[in-house]
Structure 1
Amino acid sequence: MAIKNREKNPPDDDILIDFGEGSQEIDQKPESKEINENVSSSSSTLRHAWVSLKSLPFILGAQTESRPTLHETSDGLEFVYPCGALGKTATSAVKRATTQKCKEEIKDIACRHKNNQLVPDRLPNYCPRKGSVPGHLLGCFHDYNQSRLLTSYGVKLQGLTIQKCIDLCAQSAHLYAGVHNGRECYCGNKKPSLEHLLTKSYCSVPCDGQSSQTCGGLDATEVFDTGVPSRDSAKLQDPIVNGSAKIAFILTLNGRALRQVTRLLKVIYRPHHVYLIHVDARQDFLFRNLLPLESQYSNIRLVRNRHSSIWGGASLLDVLLESMEQLLKIDSHWQFVFNLSESDFPLRSIESLEALLAANPDRNFLKSHGRQTRQFIHKQGLDRVFHQCESRMWRLGDRNLPAGIRIDGGSDWVGLTRQLVEYATSSANTSDPLLRGLRDLYRYTLLPAESFFHVLVLNSKFCDSYADNNLRMTLWRRSQGCLCQHRNVVDWCGCSPMVFRTADWTHLTSMMAKSTVFFARKFEAALDQSIMNRLEEQLTNISLSFPGLDCYWESAYDVSDSTPKQNPAVLTVATKLAKHALTLQVQNSLNECSGLQPNQIVAITSYFRHDHYQGDLIQFEVEGENVKFETLVKPLDKTSHVANTPRVLSTFLVGSDYDPKELVLRNRLGVLSPTSKPVAVYKWASHVNNTFKNAHLVWFDPNNHVKAVHSVNVTNTSKMNSQQLELRGHLNPGVWMVLFIVDGKKTAVTEFLVVPQVDEPITSTLDVKDKQPFDSWEKYSENEGNLIKSRRERTALMENDISTFLDKTVVEFYSIQDICYIEQLPNCARDKRNHYWQACSMTDWSSLSQDPKSKLVR
């Protein structure tokens, strides 16, 4: 077989795909970095991957960083630094960064990278294969295209040297490296048979990168021992009955799912284990509400030096290493450390985990990617330089990984021994070139925790402790989980596992029966709490039955939070709904209380029952009294289907913060402001076949001007679809309308409210009708005369009196479901016997009602 010439590298700014937690390959167009070929031999068909030197990015020498100068090029003006032009990727990052601090960091790192100053070219490997000598020549062997001796991997390299080939094969844990015909490198794990041995004269072609060396011949390959151990996982011993081990748990938490976190703690808590909690630096609510656990439990601690742990961020490795270092100081007796998130839940009892650990006291539990190492490196982005600032991972360019070490990785959910943690974090090891070099390497790496510990274990004295099982289970669906949903925080496309739902129960239990797994992820009570109830029943062997079992509450806003900042429109709508709820309550009870007015929104909580969203709970104070109320409000369905036409949609609504992985709108209350990005979500009715020729979404602003027309998918009628409205500038406040047109016929219409700010003038860059050819679409609104008249009247009212407009309009989009008082009644109702006033603690829907499943009790 002749070696084919390689294609050119993809453009430097091309966004490639990674595997998230080291699990899933993504179907995509063939990449220009990797070419797979089938190579036949006498016994089997062998698969080779061929890449050119361009697929192994190299670093150019340059000068040091300082202020740039502006140079004119054929492509226009670009900044050039004393270290040379930064390249398209780094230059793009500098331009897109918003703070001067971040820009300077990016420029400095880009120049240091160009000067080859970020990481060492080579790192030591402290784990040689017994009986081997790295670089030892086995001999010159007869080898040709149709029957390769080394069959695992093949690459054509310009500038090939023997050491380059050995390093490349060792990186992927191949036992043997072979150089062929001056420019070809092969890797394999089977030692060549002596029957193929030739005299040295057959291997006389000079190496392309070092003419004083020979790199095989036309039909001959010189084979060398790489010295690395084979890809073997340490065998796990069977659990010891009643065996015990002391575990330290690191909980890395984000979001606002407080009750899910406390439920997780309740299930895994044991007095003899240690629990260290790191809450994302941007999540005040979670940190504030978990902090009291420190005074209640001597073995629970919260990290004070908190990081912003964005998806794929370098800070996640900092979180883990700093937390491990803190755990070593907190407790001197724990033997293993496991990291968990708010989305994890145990599959088996903690006691059964202890029994396994007791039988395997020296094992480090890590999950490998399970594919070609070169493919993993490329898809994981390990061959790229990244830098985290402004809560974003910026891609700065290509890089070489240090030679001499084996690269591996997969999942960032690990179980590590205390001995490894001491080695990884001890200040006494700062002079260790392997550890120091890896820390430098992973400081500028995407998803660093997904491979740092793997590489550290496999290249250190702990290499024999590697168990290729992190004792976890995840649910992957590539068609939904790999949709680049993290592009808002990283210059990369990534994958995330799916949330387990009740429909996945059979799959989950069958995997438990076949695999040694103790935890699974992801779980999200806001989407499906029932599966967590079933798991807890299975764990405890107790049938759960208590108040609030099928209910779930999750905070959406708290007045004490400084981060994240709340959308002012949400508080505006919440205040209007609180006012309306009080008005309805007074009408139903006592006119003496007609003066009650909401003073401040205290909290907003999303409420779910039987895995369905029931509405949001708005907790508020009233003016002049130390009294609080909580009201349950729910968005109204504003969609209508055109009469006398077949109903083709089962779902049609507009919201924001659409999650394409879980197919839900995360902005459950649905409040939109002028800066929001509206998304139309629709699903075809089950009886609909794909015989339609075309379908369109037509967006009308409050002035009845068509602002956008989108052609929508008519081929896939089986799943939820979405379409985001992208416009220049802010949205006009007021009531918008969206029509769904199928084959030229209007089939459905929905409305959504863009909330104006009460104390700010109404401004918009979209007031002038777009100059796009939308005239032909305006005819579809002609039959919506009542809607158009109503929307225009409301727009006129809004321009004159925003507060009155909101009073009248908000109640058209939301309904008041219920209301209760917290602790005490207002003065006007205290001496009256009236069943209309109910205490929140006595309801089954209030955030103050009973919820024992989420209470961590001593």
Structure 2
Amino acid sequence: MRQLEWTKRSFLLCLGISVLICSVIYLRARMPAQPKPQEPPRCRTFCTECKALLPVLEEGLEWYRRDCQVETYILKSRMQCSALTRELHFITRPLSLEEEDYPLAFILTIHKELELFVRLLRAIYMPQNVYCVHVDAKAPWEYRAAVRKIVSCFQNVFLSSRSETVTYAGFSRLQADLNCMKDLSKSKIGWKKVVNLCGQDFPIKSNLELVQYMQGKQWRDRNMTPGVKQPPAMSHRTQLQHREVMGSHVAQKGLGLKKGPPPHDLQVYFGTAYYALTRAFVDYVLLSPIAHDLLEWSEDTFSPDEHYWVTLNHIKDAPGSHVNGGWAGEIRAIKWKDQEGWAHNGCEGRYVRDICIYGVKDLQWIINTNSMFANKFESKTFPEALDCLEQWHRNKVLNQATVTIEPSWLLATTVHSNSSNFNSSAGT
């Protein structure tokens, strides 16, 4: 009996030890593995020409972009909005009291390149501003759904209540801006001026610099619509009747059918389609019989957005009018092909409709212009140019901030050139 009892105890002891060992092995297997050192992101590195525009780093350090898959985040991510905006590096607080006290409104008219839209929006985004996004009605459903998704994450960003099928140089392009203006006029945000953008623009000035520029002596309480009396070479645009082939092109009606004179004996001006307008002027555009009559008269003209705003801004009684403005107002840095050799030294990217699609070697010229925005960029054709200007711009924005910088606002970090360990950097 004693031997049986000893054998039983020995068996139970062995069984207990075995259970203990198995439990330890099981628990260790369930424990999360030690985190591996973070690998450098597989982003495009900044090229040599770009590094010359960025802050100089200590020897052995290099700039690395943190943001490589913008479209993937939007199209495939199931993140909540708080995580999505953080991962996409949106700025979430006003950066200065001066900016907070002078909110701006933006109209973005887009139809392609989702990545470029998101990068433009985050470059100009500030929580005190308000943004109306007009998506071309002919844009693919997937594109419109993706834009709707990102817009839904912000209380101060919304889609235009009416979407146009936009035609290049057509009345529909002007109507798209007016649709957003009607929506913005109802906004509870007390915006001071509205700026219109297309999807291939990118800012040069920071939000603070935009505020300071628009509040400066020259432009305080004034509209910015660069342009002059319509030159004879452009008179066919408004003297002959045109028709818009929806979503395709604009053509003359018949064999040169002439239009009647502009209403109210208005002098027609010619200028840029881009502007910075006071809120009072926007109300005038929406409510004035003169503005309404000019709009109706413009329906069968060629590229009416290039005469409508600047013509109204030369009416003496219009709020914020600038009757002697001429081409004043540094709104857009654009390299026109016919200005090559005197306004600029050529396009380092490629010309499309005689406008330069910027390459990275064009950036120094862009920065030197001191304009508000630059046009045009393509995220797929010349991605290095957009990468570089975006980082240069974000560095400037954060350097001017009077609040503590959040880590998620950084678009790039520094990394040792021979190591995978990242260093936190504010981009200064």
Which range, TM-score by smaller chain?
Answer: 0.5 to 0.7
1:478 aligns with 2:335: no
Q: Summarize the Cα distance change of 1:347–1:332 in structure 2 as closer, same or farther, 3 Å threshold.
A: closer
Length-normalised TM-score, structure 2: 0.61
Counterparts of 2:413 and 2:157, CA distance in 1: 27
Aligned match of 1:361: 220
Counterparts of 2:259 and 2:353, CA distance in 1: 23
Contact 1:413 1:470 in 2 (8 A): no
Aligned match of 2:302: 446
Length-normalised TM-score, structure 1: 0.31
Aligned match of 2:191: 334
Counterparts of 1:313 and 1:532, CA distance in 2: 28
More strand by share: 1
Aligned match of 2:152: 295
Alignment of 1:805-824 (within 5 A): none
Q: CA deviation at 1:282?
A: 0.8
Give 2:130's match in structure 1, choosing from 249, 256, 274: 274
Q: CA deviation at 1:377?
A: 2.1
Counterparts of 1:471 and 1:457, CA distance in 2: 16
Give 2:293's match in structure 1, choosing from 437, 455, 468: 437
Q: CA deviation at 1:531?
A: 1.7
Q: CA deviation at 1:472?
A: 1.5
Give 2:104's match in structure 1, choosing from 240, 247, 255: 247
Structure 2 gaps, min length 5: 1-95, 341-351, 397-409, 415-428
1:373 aligns with 2:231: yes
Alignment of 1:663-674 (within 5 A): none
Aligned match of 2:359: 501
Return the letter of the residue paired with 1:461: D
Q: CA deviation at 1:330?
A: 2.5
Aligned match of 1:524: 378
Aligned match of 2:174: 317
Q: CA deviation at 1:479?
A: 9.5
Q: CA deviation at 1:421?
A: 0.5
> Structure 1, residues 530-565: CA drift from partner, whole Å, max 9, x if none?
122222232232896469xxxxxxxxxxxxxxxxxx
1:395 aligns with 2:255: no
Give 2:391's match in structure 1, choosing from 537, 562, 565: 537
Counterparts of 2:319 and 2:259, CA distance in 1: 26
Return the letter of the residue paired with 1:409: F
Return the letter of the residue paired with 1:518: M
> Structure 1, residues 742-782: CA drift from partner, whole Å, max 9, x if none?
xxxxxxxxxxxxxxxxxxxxxxxxxxxxxxxxxxxxxxxxx
Q: CA deviation at 1:435?
A: 2.2
Question: How many equivalent pairs are there?
Answer: 282
Counterparts of 1:332 and 1:376, CA distance in 2: 39
Q: CA deviation at 1:242?
A: 4.0
1:262 aligns with 2:122: no
1:417 aligns with 2:292: no
Return the letter of the residue paired with 1:276: C
Q: CA deviation at 1:458?
A: 0.8
More helix by share: 2
Counterparts of 1:473 and 1:420, CA distance in 2: 25
Q: Secondary structure at the match of 1:409?
A: strand
Counterparts of 1:464 and 1:358, CA distance in 2: 13
Counterparts of 1:362 and 1:496, CA distance in 2: 34
Q: CA deviation at 1:357?
A: 1.9
Q: Which runs of 4+ in 1 moved over 6 A?
A: none
Return the letter of the residue paired with 1:363: R
Counterparts of 2:381 and 2:188, CA distance in 1: 37
Q: Secondary structure at the match of 1:498?
A: strand
Q: CA deviation at 1:460?
A: 4.5
Q: CA deviation at 1:317?
A: 1.1
> Structure 1, residues 83-142: CA drift from partner, whole Å, max 9, x if none?
xxxxxxxxxxxxxxxxxxxxxxxxxxxxxxxxxxxxxxxxxxxxxxxxxxxxxxxxxxxx
Q: Summarize the Cα distance change of 1:410–1:444 in structure 2 as closer, same or farther, 3 Å threshold.
A: same
Aligned match of 1:568: none
Return the letter of the residue paired with 1:246: P
User: Taking CA–CA contacts closer than 8 Å with sequence separation of 6 or more, which of the two structures ends up with the larger relative contact order?
Assistant: 2
> Structure 1, residues 17-55: CA drift from partner, whole Å, max 9, x if none?
xxxxxxxxxxxxxxxxxxxxxxxxxxxxxxxxxxxxxxx
Counterparts of 1:361 and 1:511, CA distance in 2: 21
Contact 1:245 1:357 in 2 (8 A): no
Alignment of 1:421-820 (within 5 A): 421-426=282-287, 429=288, 432=289, 434-462=290-318, 465-466=321-322, 467=325, 468-469=328-329, 471-478=331-338, 495-512=353-370, 517-541=371-395, 545=412
Structure number with bigger Rg = 1
Q: Summarize the Cα distance change of 1:373–1:388 in structure 2 as closer, same or farther, 3 Å threshold.
A: same
Counterparts of 2:320 and 2:110, CA distance in 1: 32
Counterparts of 1:242 and 1:538, CA distance in 2: 22
Counterparts of 2:261 and 2:196, CA distance in 1: 27
Contact 2:167 2:244 in 1 (8 A): no
Q: CA deviation at 1:437?
A: 2.2
Q: Summarize the Cα distance change of 1:496–1:339 in structure 2 as closer, same or farther, 3 Å threshold.
A: farther
Return the letter of the residue paired with 2:368: S
Return the letter of the residue paired with 1:299: N
Contact 2:242 2:251 in 1 (8 A): yes
Contact 1:414 1:470 in 2 (8 A): no
Structure 1 gaps, min length 5: 1-239, 481-493, 548-858
Q: CA deviation at 1:441?
A: 1.1
Return the letter of the residue paired with 2:360: T
Q: Summarize the Cα distance change of 1:464–1:424 in structure 2 as closer, same or farther, 3 Å threshold.
A: closer
Alignment of 1:14-413 (within 5 A): 242=98, 244-255=101-112, 257-283=113-139, 284-359=141-216, 360-368=219-227, 373-378=231-236, 381-391=237-247, 392-396=249-253, 397-402=257-262, 404-413=265-274
Return the letter of the residue paired with 1:446: F
Return the letter of the residue paired with 2:329: N
Q: Summarize the Cα distance change of 1:300–1:374 in structure 2 as closer, same or farther, 3 Å threshold.
A: same
Q: Summarize the Cα distance change of 1:352–1:444 in structure 2 as closer, same or farther, 3 Å threshold.
A: same
Counterparts of 1:509 and 1:335, CA distance in 2: 26
> Structure 1, residues 626-650: CA drift from partner, whole Å, max 9, x if none?
xxxxxxxxxxxxxxxxxxxxxxxxx
